[in-house]
Amino acid sequence: MGEDIIRLARRRWFNYADGIRLDMDVQRIRRDFPTVRDGRGIYLDSACQSLRPDSVIQAILEYYQEYPACGGRSVHSMATRVSVSMDETREALASFFGTRDPDCYIFTKNCTEGLNTAAYGIGLKKGDVVITTDTEHNSNHVPWLNLEGSVGIRRRMSKSGPDGVFDLEAFHKCMGHDVKVVSVQHASNVTGCTVPVRAVAEIAHDFGAKVIVDGAQAAPHMPVDLDRIGADIYCMSVHKMLGPSGMGVMYGKRDVLEELKPLTMGGGTVGLTTYTSVNQAPIPDRFEAGLHDYAGIIATKAALEYLKGVGMDEVRKWDHQLMERILGNLEDVKNLQVVGPTDAVSRGGVFSFNIGGLGAHDIAMMLDSMAGVMIRSGMHCAHPFYVSRGIDGSARASTYIYNSPEEIDVFTDTVRHIAETFGD
């Protein structure tokens, strides 16, 4: 049955290929990714973690094979090469995200660690107000919930519409001079909807509030100019943008980082300690306790170089074209329920959906077993969004630069078959 679906989708791809405008060489890009090149299924789970190109894998191997030493500690030749490579990655980050100071980029293990560092280090006191949206990932919800209980901060939520689209007017009404922090996602991992973070930052700063942005879903899929956005802290997961697993980055304005308390302290974070005192190391070292994932940091530069070569405008346009194809192919499936808006422009590269009569996990397993299509299922660490709307999670397909229109057709044809055969 799976082979029939794939043959049908392949015929459609050949019939439609002449009418599709390709803004980048997708077939060349696909050859750079081992699991794609080797035909190991159709990967539509990039909102969780992206695949990695050969250049990123090679950078990891090169570190372990040629200079597997510590950076920032020893002064021998291997260690010096690691230290220089770390500096080069920070410089690459500053260039990629449009800022001037490489030392304002802190290496973390993921976006979650960055958001927790910001939440617990920004120095909130009892009665301080924090604003988030009602569509946040747990990483930008649970820390504030915990601080509400432990410190006594107060929280306000900017309400979105039923489809999860951000409402700037509703956000503006939440603001007041008692607000100390505004912490919002740049793009949703459920609906794909983006938040106008530059406008949010301008409004928040007018009221004297600091702005923290969860950029996990935005940084991999669109141009991000941090100077223009104006956020005080911006966190991201490098493993969602072709980089190694367990790599993240927290960017902060220098004056904000100078006042931010580190989440973890120890080796590498201090200048000098005595039995009774400690002097903090300068930025960025004070936030990077212990030994690092040096291979991951070095390979982060390779990931940035790959994305720069493709062009982030092209990445965004390709997500849009694939999303248009998904929505167009599935628009007449009657028992399909889309979670979020039904126009491609609003969704980025994320398509969350349900099929009447089937659980999300059932849909995901059927797609994998029938056609080798790999998606995610569940509440996607955004539990309040689903609970507040009475939805028991969803299936989620998420695209990236290595996905082809042919793969999208296999996905949508299989979804259609599942809905028509097993759905209510």
Which residue numbers are catalytic?
A: 381
In whole angstroms, what is the distance from residue 43 CA to residue 240 CA? Answer: 13
- Crossing angle of helices 405-422 and 360-371, in 10° steps, is 120
Between vectors from CA 138 to CA 132 and to CA 139, what angle results, nearest 5°?
A: 85
